[in-house]
Chain A
Amino acid sequence: MKRFSILSVMAVAWLLSQACGPWIRPTYDVFSVYDSKQLNPDARLKPMYDFWEKYTDGRASSWTVDALSSITENELATSDNAVLATARMRGDSEMLAYLRHLITYLNIVSGTGNDTWNYPTRDELGNRKARMQEIATAARTYSGTRLRDQYALLQVRAMVHLGDARGVVDYWTKTGSALPETVYKDMMRGLYAWSLLSLGQRREAIAEYADMGDMHSIQWLVYNQRFSLMGVKQEFDKDNNSPTLVYLVQDYVNNLGSTLASLKLYTEMGYGDMSSELKSNRVEAQKFVDFALDVVKNNKTNSPAMWLAAAGLLMHYMGNTDDALKMLDKAMKMKGTKRMTDNARLCRLVASTTYADMSKKYQDYLCTELQWLAAQAKDEEHGLGDDTNAENHYFSVMTNLVYENLVPHYQKMGATNLATSLSVMMSNLESDEYPGYFSDLGSLITKLTADQLIDYDRFVKSGGDNKLEKWLVSRGTPLDRDHFNDLVGTKYLREGAYAKAIPYLEKVPLSLINEQGISRYMARRSYDVERWMRRQVVDRDWEDIMMGENIPVTYNQKLQYCRDVLKAEEAVNSNGTAENLYRLATLYYQASYQGDCWYLTRYFHSAYDSIEYVGEKDLVTATVELLKRAKQIATDPLLKQKCYYAAAFIPYGEPLYRTEYDANYKPYIVFNNDGYMFQAMFELANYYYELRGNVAPFISKCDVLKLFLNSAEG
């Protein structure tokens, strides 16, 4: 599992934010009593691939085995496929005979498939049927023991192809079911279930699929029973221990849990009144809880762990976490598969976060459970293999648990270091397959103040105080010094603490800045330019982008900016002239999220930027205030015009106007008279009239002012 340092994680997060905008993590289902490995056909077939790998001394990959279907019967003696070549090399005539039948079978199946241009003639179809019958006969009459299971599967496959569902059922009943448990028997059983279905024995087929854990088939076959208490009860009435109940109960609990949360949210957010549905769903949830408790109390099931965990989790979803925890504690110790008792443990952990606190007792518990959960996630990932998209249940729930429950909970309690280290631990658990999660840690660190980041650094260095902290710290990678200095220096700059920023920024090497995406803007823009007078365009076109990549920065502009702002602030404090005020306003505005030099205070930029954390200096408001003072005291005519113009330029508060439509859908403009922007434009217009239009071109050519004047005159 790949690890990432905090800074590189943040860099990726920022990159993602720039490219795609925020990513919303789904809320994953908690209740899971069947193994999601069962959803992955590759994992089920693994023993078969392992067999061939072993037979060929490691030369046959799964790809080699799959490629057997593309070998023609004429190539049997010459093919360099590792499986065939090994059998030939060893003079393994028994295996070669089997491979000949297998390849003939695969050839026929792929040849009669739908996806080739050569459609078979009637004679060819007859011939294929005859060959398939030969394969079935050869498989049936195989008298050896070594390849008995393979031949058994081949026989059933041939029968399925010949449309002999009854034959398959008979074979399975008399012979196949008694064979030892192998991947071939597993595959054969799937064909048996399919044959049952095609013979109309639906219920029996469902039971087989359920017992095999074939979720995809079950999903279709019990669709009408799913998601309802009635469906669960119907199945229970037929067979208290029906394997199908595992799926029905799981679907029911997860869907009802999600429904209760969504209905509440839907109503709260004002989308519509769902209170009657919420009430009826709660009533139904309680009925399920009562039913499940009765099942457990009266020993009506072999899997009380599943039923009591289902009841407990629903109690938690209904808000009764005290009773839920008691039920889940019991469920963990009850009879059921390991997956079922693990599920109860996970449900208990999720419910427990309602009461997450700083007590030693809870944090010790949390530490043990998070370690267990991380191990479960790792185990499930290994089981799934590297090339699967199947969901890692434990990992998915863990992301929700950490990022949605624990981190906000501890942040709210002021335990920032604990929240941060939980995020770091989580990000270190993530692999390349889950890049979207990076944004959680990135976003969290972006919102930390400089002091909080320094404190976190101290916390990491201290190694933590208790069991949980020590474990979390051991999972996190300490901050690289250069990145740390850059990050803290930038945060102080962003917070307006320029003097504090300087010692950190002084330690940042230029090479680090040149590695960052912001360097190309830093190299081509100046904070001395008044933003309202000129926009400094970078990335106008592709050529521009390419050019920009090759321009390294020659000095740390952040550092110079801090020094210049300190001088400008000192000048304002000692001599608040209009010139000094205007100069400081220019510097502040350029470093704000609206300025061209946004890279001074942040690492990425978007149209949705704003003040992101408590403690960040509101440079736009500060600019507005400075300009307000400057325009009142300015005596130089040009500077005064600049002040009026700059004040009217800044988007601040309510927009200048909004567009509305009359009865004929004709648009018209309505000015927001009470907003700052209207007032600033109004003052600019008055000043324009005052000077009888004898103003600088940047005012006389301003189209927004023209619109304003025209509207006012109109």
Chain B
Amino acid sequence: MKNARYILVVLLVMVSLAGCRRGHEAVPGAERAAVYFWRTSLSLDSAERDFLSTYGVKKMYVRMFDVVLRGGKPMPNATITGLDTVPGGIAVVPTVFIMENCLSADTSSLAENLVSRVAQMCETHGVEAHELQIDCDWTVKSMKTFYALLADIRRRTERMGWTLSATIRLHQLSMPVPPVDYGVLMMYNTGDMRIKDGTNPILDAKHVAPYLKYLKDYDLPLCAAWPCFEWKLLYAGGEFKAILYSAMLDDTTRYRRVAPDRYVVVRRHDAPEYNSDLSAMSWIDVGDTIVVAHPGEDVILGTQAKVIELRPEMSVQTILYSLNSEQMKLYNTDFYEKIFNP
């Protein structure tokens, strides 16, 4: 009887231990504060340099180039210039964005081309890098090809002694983990800007909530990237038309504010950023609506707290998207202090 009780206790302990999930490791080479740099020319203004020093940002994920389909082949596009001007003391993580449609083309030499090019860019411009990040909005359809590509890239980066990471979009949490050393959970662009349903397409709890159930068991070291930008979304009769980058919404001769985040166009004009051919269809017309999608600090910090509650190790490194003095003005010092020190 005693033995039987002993066995029962041991079994219960074993069962309870088996039920405990092992803790997730933090991302390798973590820095408390990091940023993405996503422009095509690496020239930082004084406000951006101040930002890096003020908040002790030590790591910058720099978009080196995109990979797009050209002539049916995956080819580099929009390569960054000015790589020689990276501020001292900042670790650069070369990042490459791959358009998903490239995965339907011949990718047999893509890993070799991509890794060689990134390495050569770093060497040519004296950038010391130890990591490569791949950004791609892969889906179930392209996952197999993408993971094979990542595995190929990883074999090459390992030989160079580099770490390999990948961005993870929320919808990708429900898929098997990619063959990388860690992932960066993209906590922005969570919605669809084409759908005007009152939710915030940059970050909205309603879009995030359904995916959080996957987070705890996602078997890959993770950190998260958070938004510090807003979009001015132009709609015509409910149809999404464009993102406006240079609209000055306080100009009352052009816009009438009809709600805190909503404006109606009252004088026709164009937007040079998306109007390249001056065709009649590219005007911002009277009656068009501009919705300002601006995730509130409370939404971002609240979602960050929830994520860290589920995965405490995600507090070790925080990345902001992206380093851009114009957009960063939208949030205050207190917000940046809080988000980098969760």
A: residues with CB less than 8 A from B are 26-29, 39, 114-122, 125, 215-216, 219-220, 223, 226-228, 255-256, 258-259, 262-263, 266, 271-272, 274, 277, 280-281, 284, 389-391
Q: Check A114/B120 contact, CB under 8 A, given A259-B286, A263-B266, A391-B279.
A: no
Instruction: Give chain B residues whose Cβ lies under 8 Å from the Cβ of A120.
Output: 120, 124
The residue from B123, B279, B280 contacting A121, defined by CB atoms under 8 A apart = B123
Nearest 9 pairs of A and B residues by beta carbon: A262-B286, A114-B79, A26-B280, A119-B120, A117-B113, A277-B266, A227-B269, A258-B268, A259-B267
A-B contact pairs, 27 of them (CB 8 A): A26-B281, A39-B278, A114-B78, A115-B75, A115-B79, A116-B75, A117-B75, A117-B113, A118-B117, A119-B117, A119-B121, A120-B120, A120-B124, A121-B124, A122-B124, A125-B124, A219-B278, A223-B272, A226-B269, A255-B268, A258-B268, A258-B283, A258-B285, A258-B286, A262-B285, A263-B266, A274-B286
B61 within 8 A of A: no
Q: Check A223/B286 contact, CB under 8 A, given A114-B76, A115-B75, A255-B268.
A: no
Instruction: Give chain B residues whose Cβ lies under 8 Å from the Cβ of A28.
Output: 280
A274 CA to B279 CA in the complex, in Å? Answer: 26
A271 CA to B287 CA in the complex, in Å? Answer: 8
Q: Shortest Cβ distance from A419 into chain B, in angstroms?
A: 25
Instruction: Give chain B residues whose Cβ lies under 8 Å from the Cβ of A29.
Output: 280
A266 CA to B289 CA in the complex, in Å? Answer: 13
A391 CA to B117 CA in the complex, in Å? Answer: 41
Question: Would you call B123 and A117 a contact (CB within 8 A)?
Answer: no
Question: Would you call A389 and B256 a contact (CB within 8 A)?
Answer: no
Question: Would you call B266 and A215 a contact (CB within 8 A)?
Answer: no
Question: Would you call B277 and A389 a contact (CB within 8 A)?
Answer: yes
B22 within 8 A of A: no
Instruction: Give chain A residues whose Cβ lies under 8 Å from the Cβ of B341.
Output: none
Most buried by B among A114, A220, A223, A280: A114
Instruction: Give chain A residues whose Cβ lies under 8 Å from the Cβ of B283.
Output: 258
Query: Smallest CB-CB separation from B114: which chain A residue?
Result: A117
B253 within 8 A of A: yes
Q: Check A262/B120 contact, CB under 8 A, given A28-B280, A114-B65.
A: no
Question: Would you call B272 and A219 a contact (CB within 8 A)?
Answer: yes
B116 within 8 A of A: yes
Instruction: Give chain B residues whose Cβ lies under 8 Å from the Cβ of A227.
Output: 254, 267-269
Query: Smallest CB-CB separation from B287: which chain A residue?
Result: A266
- Using a Cβ–Cβ cut-off of 8 Å, how many residues does chain B contribute to the interface with A? 36
A28 CA to B253 CA in the complex, in Å? Answer: 22
Most buried by B among A117, A272, A280, A391: A117
B70 within 8 A of A: yes
Instruction: Give chain A residues whose Cβ lies under 8 Å from the Cβ of B70.
Output: 115
Q: CB-CB contacts of B251-268 with A at 8 A, as 1s and 0s? A: 001101000000010111
Question: Would you call A263 and B65 a contact (CB within 8 A)?
Answer: no
Instruction: Give chain B residues whose Cβ lies under 8 Å from the Cβ of A118.
Output: 117, 120
Query: Smallest CB-CB separation from B40: which chain A residue?
Result: A114
Query: Smallest CB-CB separation from A278: which chain B residue?
Result: B266
B3 within 8 A of A: no
A119 CA to B123 CA in the complex, in Å? Answer: 10
Question: Would you call B75 and A216 a contact (CB within 8 A)?
Answer: no
Once A and B bind, how many residue pairs between them come within 8 Å at the CB atom? Answer: 89
Q: Shortest Cβ distance from A229 into chain B, in angstroms?
A: 9
B: residues with CB less than 8 A from A are 65, 70, 75-79, 113, 116-117, 120-121, 123-124, 246, 253-254, 256, 264, 266-270, 272, 275-281, 283, 285-287
A29 CA to B285 CA in the complex, in Å? Answer: 13
Instruction: Give chain B residues whose Cβ lies under 8 Å from the Cβ of A255.
Output: 267-269
Q: Shortest Cβ distance from A208 into chain B, in angstroms?
A: 18
Instruction: Give chain B residues whose Cβ lies under 8 Å from the Cβ of A389.
Output: 277
Instruction: Give chain B residues whose Cβ lies under 8 Å from the Cβ of A259.
Output: 266-268, 286
Q: Shortest Cβ distance from A223 into chain B, in angstroms?
A: 6
Q: Shortest Cβ distance from A509 into chain B, in angstroms?
A: 43
Instruction: Give chain A residues whose Cβ lies under 8 Å from the Cβ of B278.
Output: 39, 215, 219, 391
Q: Shortest Cβ distance from B334 into chain A, in angstroms?
A: 32
Most buried by B among A226, A255, A272: A255
Q: Shortest Cβ distance from B124 into chain A, in angstroms?
A: 5
Instruction: Give chain A residues whose Cβ lies under 8 Å from the Cβ of B264.
Output: 272
A435 CA to B338 CA in the complex, in Å? Answer: 58
Q: Check A262/B279 contact, CB under 8 A, given A114-B79, A115-B75.
A: no
Question: Would you call A117 and B267 a contact (CB within 8 A)?
Answer: no
A684 CA to B278 CA in the complex, in Å? Answer: 60
Question: Would you call B121 and A228 a contact (CB within 8 A)?
Answer: no
A168 CA to B94 CA in the complex, in Å? Answer: 35
Question: Would you call A281 and B281 a contact (CB within 8 A)?
Answer: no
Q: Shortest Cβ distance from A285 into chain B, in angstroms?
A: 11
A220 CA to B267 CA in the complex, in Å? Answer: 19
Query: Smallest CB-CB separation from A226: which chain B residue?
Result: B269
Question: Would you call A228 and B253 a contact (CB within 8 A)?
Answer: yes
Q: Shortest Cβ distance from B168 into chain A, in angstroms?
A: 27
Q: Check A117/B116 contact, CB under 8 A, given A215-B278, A227-B269.
A: yes
Q: Shortest Cβ distance from A393 into chain B, in angstroms?
A: 11
Q: Check A119/B124 contact, CB under 8 A, given A216-B276, A219-B272, A226-B269.
A: yes
A116 CA to B269 CA in the complex, in Å? Answer: 38
Q: Shortest Cβ distance from A415 into chain B, in angstroms?
A: 29
Question: Would you call B246 and A223 a contact (CB within 8 A)?
Answer: yes
Question: Would you call B275 and A219 a contact (CB within 8 A)?
Answer: yes
Q: Shortest Cβ distance from B273 into chain A, in angstroms?
A: 9
Query: Smallest CB-CB separation from B271: which chain A residue?
Result: A223
Instruction: Give chain B residues whose Cβ lies under 8 Å from the Cβ of A27.
Output: 280
Q: Shortest Cβ distance from B257 into chain A, in angstroms?
A: 13
Instruction: Give chain A residues whose Cβ lies under 8 Å from the Cβ of B116.
Output: 117
Q: Check A117/B117 contact, CB under 8 A, given A39-B278, A256-B267, A262-B286.
A: yes
Q: Shortest Cβ distance from B71 into chain A, in angstroms?
A: 11
A258 CA to B268 CA in the complex, in Å? Answer: 7
Q: Check A114/B77 contact, CB under 8 A, given A223-B272, A255-B268, A258-B268.
A: yes
Instruction: Give chain A residues whose Cβ lies under 8 Å from the Cβ of B124.
Output: 119-122, 125
Q: Shortest Cβ distance from A274 into chain B, in angstroms?
A: 7
The residue from B76, B266, B281, B285 contacting A115, defined by CB atoms under 8 A apart = B76
Question: Would you call B275 and A266 a contact (CB within 8 A)?
Answer: no
